[in-house]
Chains A and B, each alone.
Chain A
Amino acid sequence: MKEFAIINTRLPKVDAWAKATGDARYTDDLSMPNMLYGALLQSPLAHARIKSIDISRAKRLPGVKDVITAKEAGLIKYGVSPARYDETVFCDQKVRYIGDEIAAVAAIDLETALEAVSLIEVEYEELPILLDPFEAMKEGVIAIHDEFPNNICAEVHQEFGNVEEAFKECDYIRTDKFVNKKQDGAFIEPQSCIAFYDLNGNLTLTTSTQTVHYVQRTVAMVLGLPVGKVRVTKPCVGGGFGPKASANTIELASSILSMRTGRPVKMTFTREQVFQHSRARHQFWHELTTGVKKDGSLIALKNTCHMDGGAYSSFGIATVYYGGSLLGAPYKLPNMKYDGYRMYTNKPANGAQRGHGGVVARAAWEQQLDVIAEELGMDPLEMRLKNMMKRGDTTCNDFNMSSFGMEECLEAIRDGSGWKKKKGKLPKGKGIGVACGFFVSGAGFPIYRSETFHSTAMIKLSEDGGTINLYTAAADIGQGSDTILTMMAAEAIGVRYEDVRVLSGDTDFGVDLGAYSSRQTLMSGHAVKQAGEDVRDQVLEVLSRNFKIPVEDMDIKKGLIIFKKKKPDFSVLRSTYIKEHRGWVDPPVGDELTFKEAARVAYFEKGVVVGRGSYKPGDLGGKYKGAAVGTSPAYGCSAQVVEVTVDMETGKVTIDDMTDAHDCGFAINPTNIEGQMQGSLSMGVGEALFEEIKFDDKGRVVNPTLGEYRIPTALDMPNVNTIIIESNEPNGPWGAKEVGEGAIMPTIPAILNAIYDATGVRVRELPVTSERLFTLMKEQEKK
């Protein structure tokens, strides 16, 4: 086993000190001289034609500097996927959901801006409201977008193998339906941004985003600016989980307002606006038909999915593909057919959220597999083991499992949870359940069709050699990429953790597609590793010329130069360094040549010492339509066992224990990995048991607060037994791959399977509130 100095250790996060003391700055903590405050006018109606907008009273209010509507902002369409650009900054002819943006105001303070918003007069003509996606796709109903007469935003039809033929060979086939509810990201920091367009025509947008690169492109396109004139930068970001992965209205509106006023403009969402903007988990209706052999081998799966998309596409094109493609693994499944439909409705747009598109499909299928195991008289865990893919296997939809520690995960949770002692032996009201899942380690293709690098990195040495500056556009949104990339840079060069200073999340620092699809450890990591090795090689080559020692006879470890053979005399070099830095507090000492001195020599020879790295995935296979959604250089995978107690009188579910094993390829920082696993499980518990955005019949969100939209508190979560499995991914830096999203996959079905074990009731609608479970238990009793 190779020894590492920095990676594979539990170093504290680089930003932990600043975050523990209150020094860390998030977007809303920032302000600029002469800054204006922006506010939005949003639609009070879910579907209406705009007959007129009168901004004259708002404009006359003292303190108001600008008021903009579609007329001023223009009608350039944008969105996430270029195939479905269906949003404009402000509504033009129509509003499509409660919260749809109509106008924005910039004023000297927020109160004035809000007052001005209230003075804008809009005349509406109400239109029929479509809240149910099945209603929306009926013939003859009103079109929410004129270009989509049946309100079908996207549909996908895929077949791998031949499902109907394969069903003929099956000994057992069953069909089940499953539905979840629309969910919210519920990150604690609401979106916020400050735009400043300066006199040289440069726009700087500081924003709470997961993806500076995509925001830069969208802003440049919508505002008609050259991409090079738009800089997007993020300070600390208070969580994202998907909804912050694309450009939002306040980013565009504040940029336009700043261009028009010449002053910085800040806009921040209220919590209610976070719920209205949404772009979080869709509501999915799955119908799954699975066929197996008597021995439990999986033969075929037919998956039909309908999704409530809300008023705009957002990430929905990708979501509707993921709703099918993410069932291609982790089991050997030769035949799979998928029909997916995403409908427009008059609700806030749905988008990507942790486990993008796959979480509900996974919940539906893993519960069905549990039913099948029982029907066949098999242990559900053993049936999963029997069907499990192995390293090197390729799915029927062409995903190559270049590493796959799934068997190890299953065995680890079986043994770690005491499964064999408990399954089938717990008293009524107590239950145990198992499930598996997998996820991409970075989308194999960018959102727009391009040969672009997915990540670049630059490492620049300071002239004194003592500091290594790592520049990356990767976005740390709390998951810890700054820490992981710092560790990787230090390891690749051979210096200490504290010698590396990371500068990240800024389009000035390079290209990085950002924090989504669990991509940064693998993709940004590759770029950083390469840049680090480049710097290391450059420094060693200079030393080699100076000392006439071959590069291969030297190494760098812990900030010191290791001479494998004879150590040269570097006394002149050292005394020169010390003389040059007379009065400084950190002269190089000790018997070894320090990296600092070596880097100084490199500086003398080169002037600028910069290491460069860039990464894009190679050919990933999959030539069918839609293959771009789901193909990835690597796949992470997890298995979980959950134990619950159900109060048989009330239907209340308590999560007693969770055992989770995740194959992350190689643990760069085990503490961070456990944090991602525990956070994923917590989100899964919320989605399984209580998270649900509720609407009234006018399309209004009735629970747009963190009091009424319940997420797990410290009292809802048990301690989780987290087991890290390392499978050494050949396509990952040092063998590493994802952990951020894969770990949520098994959580919901493992809970559902445990609830069944406790009660004998199968719940096929989320969330499993006490009321829902109680009602189902009563129905069961009657039978």
Chain B
Amino acid sequence: MKRIITLNVNEKEYEVAVAPNRTLAQVLREDLNLLGTKIGCDMGDCGACTVILDDRPVNSCLVLAVQANERKITTIEGVADGPHLHPVQQAFVEHGAIQCGFCSPGMILSAKSLLEKNSKPTEYEIREALSGNLCRCTGYQKIVEAVKAASQTMKK
């Protein structure tokens, strides 16, 4: 039996009819066409499907869509302000923090969420906040540098 739910995604309300077993990741990708949310493992291990749910980064493959009913969700599509990149995105571009890019949406959302709570994170705090997002390409160094740089620009 499908249930009608309301998702507030990137400050827009969507009414969706979903089967109870569908994950938030599936609904974002398949029903709302928000394909920036990636599925790397579908088991909550890799973090590629990270979205911000009520100010907390979550693996959207581990959240049922019905659990997100009437809650606030930010996906990667909601991070930039029109053509203007968010400072975290800008820093990722400039610092070479993106290689294959498959982890980047989740990584950027985890970083954004961190910086919203802690505007001056230490390197350890950055690494800890990103430790649920796996990246096989970069060795994380340029990602960490980008988050540091973004925290500097955001302070200004």
Which applies to chain B's interface (DSSP): helix, strand, loop or mixed?
A: loop
Do B128 and A715 have beta carbons less than 8 Å apart? yes
CB contacts (< 8 Å) of A239 on chain B: these are 99-100, 102, 136-137
Contact flags (1/0) for A429-462 with B, using CB distance below 8 Å? 0000000000000000000000000000000000
Q: CB-nearest residue of chain A relative to B147?
A: A714
Chain A nearest CB from B56 CB (Å) reads 18
CB contacts (< 8 Å) of B42 on chain A: these are 270-271
User: Which of A127-135, A527-535, A668-676 lies at the binding interface?
Assistant: A668-676
CB contacts (< 8 Å) of A12 on chain B: these are 93-94, 96
CB contacts (< 8 Å) of A271 on chain B: these are 40-43, 45
Do A711 and B141 have beta carbons less than 8 Å apart? no
CB contacts (< 8 Å) of B34 on chain A: these are 22
Q: CB-nearest residue of chain B relative to A187?
A: B136
CB contacts (< 8 Å) of B48 on chain A: these are 188
CB contacts (< 8 Å) of A168 on chain B: these are none
Which residue from A238, A478, A678, A715 sits with its C-beta under 8 Å from B38?
A238
Which residue from B37, B40, B43, B130 sits with its C-beta under 8 Å from A22?
B37
Do B98 and A16 have beta carbons less than 8 Å apart? yes
Do B100 and A477 have beta carbons less than 8 Å apart? yes
Do A20 and B89 have beta carbons less than 8 Å apart? yes
A241-B136 in contact given A17-B93, A20-B93 (Cβ < 8 Å): yes
Judge if A25 is at the interface, Cβ distance under 8 Å: yes
Do A681 and B139 have beta carbons less than 8 Å apart? yes
CA distance A64 to B104 in the complex (A): 36
CB contacts (< 8 Å) of B101 on chain A: these are 15-16, 18-20, 24, 236, 238, 478
CA distance A239 to B102 in the complex (A): 8
Which applies to chain A's interface (DSSP): helix, strand, loop or mixed?
A: loop
Q: CB-nearest residue of chain B relative to A237?
A: B100
Judge if A9 is at the interface, Cβ distance under 8 Å: no
CB contacts (< 8 Å) of A29 on chain B: these are 29, 35
CB contacts (< 8 Å) of B35 on chain A: these are 22, 25, 29
Do B92 and A679 have beta carbons less than 8 Å apart? no
CB contacts (< 8 Å) of B90 on chain A: these are 20
CB contacts (< 8 Å) of A683 on chain B: these are 136
Do A719 and B93 have beta carbons less than 8 Å apart? no
A682-B138 in contact given A13-B98, A707-B45 (Cβ < 8 Å): yes
A705-B43 in contact given A20-B92, A714-B127 (Cβ < 8 Å): yes
Judge if A571 is at the interface, Cβ distance under 8 Å: no
CB contacts (< 8 Å) of B137 on chain A: these are 239, 478-479, 675, 679
Do B102 and A26 have beta carbons less than 8 Å apart? yes
Do A188 and B134 have beta carbons less than 8 Å apart? yes
CA distance A712 to B141 in the complex (A): 12
Contact flags (1/0) for A702-742 with B, using CB distance below 8 Å? 00011100011111010110000000000000000000000
Which residue from B40, B127, B130 sits with its C-beta under 8 Å from A706?
B40
Do B92 and A187 have beta carbons less than 8 Å apart? no
List CB contacts (< 8 Å) of A229-264 with chain B.
Answer: 236-239, 241
A186-B96 in contact given A22-B36, A678-B141 (Cβ < 8 Å): no
Chain B nearest CB from A691 CB (Å) reads 11
Question: Count the A residues whose beta carbon is within 8 Å of the partner chain — how many?
Answer: 55
Judge if A687 is at the interface, Cβ distance under 8 Å: no
Judge if B105 is at the interface, Cβ distance under 8 Å: yes
CB contacts (< 8 Å) of B130 on chain A: these are 713-714
Do B45 and A706 have beta carbons less than 8 Å apart? yes
Judge if B39 is at the interface, Cβ distance under 8 Å: yes
Judge if A21 is at the interface, Cβ distance under 8 Å: yes
A675-B142 in contact given A13-B98, A20-B89, A22-B37 (Cβ < 8 Å): yes
Chain A nearest CB from B27 CB (Å) reads 15
Do B43 and A21 have beta carbons less than 8 Å apart? no
Judge if A10 is at the interface, Cβ distance under 8 Å: yes
Judge if A692 is at the interface, Cβ distance under 8 Å: no
Judge if A480 is at the interface, Cβ distance under 8 Å: yes
Judge if A512 is at the interface, Cβ distance under 8 Å: no
Judge if B4 is at the interface, Cβ distance under 8 Å: no
CB contacts (< 8 Å) of B38 on chain A: these are 26, 188-189, 238
Judge if B52 is at the interface, Cβ distance under 8 Å: no
Q: CB-nearest residue of chain A relative to B105?
A: A22
CA distance A12 to B76 in the complex (A): 20
CB contacts (< 8 Å) of B46 on chain A: these are 188, 706
Do A190 and B40 have beta carbons less than 8 Å apart? yes
Judge if A28 is at the interface, Cβ distance under 8 Å: yes
Chain A nearest CB from B43 CB (Å) reads 6
CA distance A189 to B105 in the complex (A): 13
Do A188 and B103 have beta carbons less than 8 Å apart? yes
CB contacts (< 8 Å) of A28 on chain B: these are 39
A479-B96 in contact given A678-B138, A714-B143 (Cβ < 8 Å): no
CB contacts (< 8 Å) of A17 on chain B: these are 85, 93
Chain B nearest CB from A270 CB (Å) reads 7
Do A720 and B141 have beta carbons less than 8 Å apart? yes
List CB contacts (< 8 Å) of A543-561 with chain B.
Answer: none
Q: CB-nearest residue of chain A relative to B88?
A: A20
CA distance A54 to B38 in the complex (A): 36
CA distance A24 to B127 in the complex (A): 25
CB contacts (< 8 Å) of B77 on chain A: these are 21-22
CA distance A682 to B135 in the complex (A): 10
Which residue from A188, A682, A707, A717 sits with its C-beta under 8 Å from B43?
A707
CB contacts (< 8 Å) of A478 on chain B: these are 99-102, 137
A706-B138 in contact given A22-B105, A187-B100, A679-B99 (Cβ < 8 Å): no
Which residue from A22, A241, A671, A682 sits with its C-beta under 8 Å from B140?
A682
CA distance A478 to B99 in the complex (A): 4
Judge if B18 is at the interface, Cβ distance under 8 Å: no
CA distance A720 to B29 in the complex (A): 36
Q: CB-nearest residue of chain B relative to A677?
A: B139
List CB contacts (< 8 Å) of B85-138 with chain A.
Answer: 85, 89-90, 92-96, 98-105, 108, 126-128, 130-138
Which residue from B37, B45, B131 sits with its C-beta under 8 Å from A715?
B131
Chain A nearest CB from B54 CB (Å) reads 20
Chain A nearest CB from B153 CB (Å) reads 15
Do B41 and A21 have beta carbons less than 8 Å apart? no
Which residue from A20, A681, A713 sits with its C-beta under 8 Å from B98?
A20
Do A22 and B102 have beta carbons less than 8 Å apart? no
Do B104 and A20 have beta carbons less than 8 Å apart? yes
CB contacts (< 8 Å) of A189 on chain B: these are 38, 40, 100, 102
Judge if A580 is at the interface, Cβ distance under 8 Å: no
CA distance A29 to B80 in the complex (A): 20
Judge if B68 is at the interface, Cβ distance under 8 Å: no
Do B100 and A675 have beta carbons less than 8 Å apart? no
A20-B94 in contact given A236-B100, A675-B137, A682-B139 (Cβ < 8 Å): no
Besides A238-B100, A674-B96, A705-B43, 7 more A-B contacts (Cβ < 8 Å) are: A17-B85, A20-B85, A22-B77, A188-B135, A238-B101, A713-B131, A714-B131
Closest 5 CB pairs of A and B: A22-B36, A478-B100, A238-B102, A19-B101, A682-B139
Binding site for A on B (CB under 8 A): 29, 34-46, 48, 75-77, 79-80, 85, 89-90, 92-96, 98-105, 108, 126-128, 130-144
Q: Mind listing 15 A-B residue pairs with CB under 8 Å?
A: A18-B101, A19-B101, A24-B101, A26-B38, A29-B29, A187-B136, A675-B99, A678-B141, A679-B99, A679-B137, A682-B138, A683-B136, A713-B140, A714-B131, A715-B131
